[in-house]
Amino acid sequence: MTKKTVFILMLTTLLFACQKGKDSTEIKIDKLISEMTLDEKIGQMNQLTGMGLSDDMKEQLKNGRVGSILNEVDVNIINELQRIAVEESRLHIPLIFGRDVIHGYKTIFPIPLGQAASWDPKIAETGARIAAEEATSVGIRWTFAPMVDVSRDPRWGRIAESCGEDPYLTSVFGAAMVKGFQGDKLSDSNSMAACAKHFAGYGAAEAGKDYNTTWIPDVQLRDVYLPSFKAAVDAGAATFMCSFNDINGVPSSGNKYLNRDILRDEWKFDGMLVSDWGSIDQMISHGVSANLKNAAAKAIEAGVDMDMMALAYITHLKKLVEEGVISEKIIDESVRNILRVKFRLGLFENPNVKPDSNAFYKPEAIAAAKYAAEESAVLLKNNNLLPLGSSFKTVAVVGPLADAALEQFGTWSFDAEPAHAVTPLKAITDMYGKQYKIIGEPGLVFSRDSNATGITKAVAAAKKADVVLVFAGEEAILSGEAHCRADISLPGLQNQLISELKKTGKPIVLVIMAGRPLTIEKQINESNAVLYAFHGGTMAGPALADLIFGKVIPSGKLPVTIPRMVGQIPVYYAHKMTGRPGTNFVTIDKIPIGVFQTSLGNTSFHLDAGDKPLYPFGYGLSYSTFEYSKVKLSAKTMEKNGKITAECTVKNTGKFDAKEVVQLYVRDPVASLARPVRELKGFEKILLKAGESKTIKFEIDATQLGFWHEDKTYYAEPGEFQVWISKDSQSGEAVSFKLK
């Protein structure tokens, strides 16, 4: 046997031994990559928007120059495009079809911010599962959701897509959505790849303006903006998406620290990272790339696997390899991540979809959407008016959102069908029209309407009624991507409408349907009862009807703070304590003329708003009432690696069987870095019958007490900690323990 033969045998044996311990999917990927040309590799990294069955698209598929298509929803076209990719391309690699399926495909659930108001992660999981079942029936196997950006600025249009201002609540809901979209097994034909977005810090955009810059210290980034993304990784999210913003001067699409150091190296994420639409190209506008070629180099070096609609990779990567600017090895790494997702989705085994004409609006989906809308509504005020009883005979239903099917879907509901939406006016008429006389008179045609003609008719209707239901808020177009507002009050003449209705002396129930918290203090003061319903989706009408008339008891809690006025923003519960906390407020209208400059004291507050929001995070009333006992701890001292239990007995002291969200907060009052005044660390939604009590227990360990330090380490510091079990982020009495 020659030395050459011996060497070949040894090499073969070594390769076999290496492969033997390797995952079978990885072996398949190795083989496929070894057979691919550089052009075919780059083709996998190219995502295009749908062009139907155009000759150009067909040609690109045959040549292996497209890896994914988004925004194609015709199942026959999808199947034909997939057939071309699988049967007519050289390597038969299937496509992955993507779509923004955010809070429903056909059956629309409340916007994510509304779902978070339910404080029931199962609602988010169920909504995502139904969305996946409907969307996959036409071949969509990848959704660009959940959005897990922590969002503390209601001016930002995309707060509607978020789960609010808190890292813990967002983490829990984001993980639930990932599970719902991806199902028990990603390769199942009715499962779709989730995409955690936008990585990262997008919710901190300056001025609440979309695509805007962010500047976030590393400890804040890790404490506030990254936990929800880590939770998505832990939940098994198949894909991630870069954010549009720059963070500390570096756009996310070119950010090695985020995409490689944290996402890949720290968190061991092995899925696919896709750019947002054109975000690689937009590094030119950011001022960090001179041209598209340079932007392509920055993005691939930063670890962006797939280019969504910038055409940067397909145009420039090959040349960059030939010039030695980037290595083909780095391209192989991205192609591996893309192929891995396709294998995990089962696309190589089952690339085509069997159309299902009965996939949409199933009875169980409609019931789940109604339940989600019921649980998502937050009762902010109730002067013993709700639920409406039999003493009221005639009900006036007014406001621009009372009968606006399209608007109740909210943002990112591209595939919704208004014909299937049930509006509040229709639901109240159909469900309660036999018990009450219903008068419908909108007053305003749409939320931005500045024509006062209809207000007179609405006032006339109110005068004939015993109670007035006002459905006010925002049209869907006023929130979502690129739909940011500097003035977040009710648009149009809605404020005038409510004031004129108030003058009639009739009791007013104000229902807000919106994509964000609005500054509505005056309108709340003019109303006897207020329900904040966000955009509730397909079944918003029936849900609100049953809530108003008492068949369902409100149980939602705010996932985000509601400010008194826009000038308070950013305002959120988990703020740091200042050196001079606000005390002894003297409001601007009560300052004596000519008073000495320092006579009011020198503390931290606004002269015209104080230092408190209109409603705090976690707030929400019920038709029943709840009493909380004093919190008990299992010990006064916690060992470094130990645990303690905090418990509280909650009693339903009202007349209705009702649900309550019991919330756990902690504070580290003295630390090496200033810590928030409270941080949510747990919650439980419970159902209590009238008069029933239940003891709720939360387990606390040092992991929950820790925070990130400037040396990029996470740990809890010894000392005193405070604990609350309360109904919202501002109530309750603290108890203390010490961590050794």
> Which residue is it, tokens 């007490």?
705
In contact, 449 and 493? CB cutoff 8 Å: yes
Q: Pseudo-torsion of CA 156, 159, 165, 170, nearest 10°?
A: -150
The rounded distance, in Å, linking the Cα atoms of 704 and 721 is 11
Three-point CA angle 490, 493, 496, nearest 5°: 95
The rounded distance, in Å, linking the Cα atoms of 228 and 203 is 12
In contact, 193 and 513? CB cutoff 8 Å: no
Output phi, psi for 694, to 5 deg.
-150, 140
The rounded distance, in Å, linking the Cα atoms of 249 and 247 is 5
Q: Which residues 6+ apart lie within 8 Å of 2 measured at CB?
A: none
With the C-alpha atoms ordered 96, 99, 104, 110, is the resulting torsion angle positive or negative?
positive
Q: Which tokens hold the place of 372? A: 């989600």
Nearest alpha carbon to residue 360 among 636, 106, 94, 545? 106
Cα–Cα distances (Å) from 446 to 399, 425, 452, 701, 739, in that order, read 8, 15, 12, 51, 56
Ramachandran category for residue 609: left, alpha or beta (phi over 0 → left; psi -120 to 50 → alpha): alpha
C-beta atoms surrounding 128 within 10 Å: 30
In contact, 430 and 358? CB cutoff 8 Å: no
The rounded distance, in Å, linking the Cα atoms of 105 and 413 is 7
C-beta atoms surrounding 606 within 10 Å: 17
Q: Which tokens hold the place of 320? A: 């960059």
Three-point CA angle 234, 237, 238, nearest 5°: 135
The rounded distance, in Å, linking the Cα atoms of 717 and 702 is 9
With the C-alpha atoms ordered 595, 601, 603, 606, is the resulting torsion angle positive or negative?
negative
> Which residue is it, tokens 């045959």?
62
Three-point CA angle 419, 422, 425, nearest 5°: 120
Nearest alpha carbon to residue 229 among 261, 197, 257, 194? 197
In contact, 467 and 395? CB cutoff 8 Å: yes
Q: Which tokens hold the place of 508? A: 């007013």
Q: Which residues 6+ apart lie within 8 Å of 379 measured at CB?
A: 386, 529, 530, 531, 554, 556, 620, 621, 622, 623
Cα–Cα distances (Å) from 664 to 175, 574, 619, 637, in that order, read 19, 13, 13, 18
In contact, 79 and 141? CB cutoff 8 Å: no
Strands 195-199 and 719-726 turn out to be: unpaired
Q: Which tokens hold the place of 528? A: 């006897």
The rounded distance, in Å, linking the Cα atoms of 529 and 683 is 26
DSSP-derived letter for residue 232 is H
Q: Which residues 6+ apart lie within 8 Å of 325 measured at CB?
A: 297
CA atoms within 13 A on the CB side of 208: 26
Residues belonging to the active site: 276
Question: What's the Rg (C-alpha) of the chain?
Answer: 28
The rounded distance, in Å, linking the Cα atoms of 575 and 563 is 14
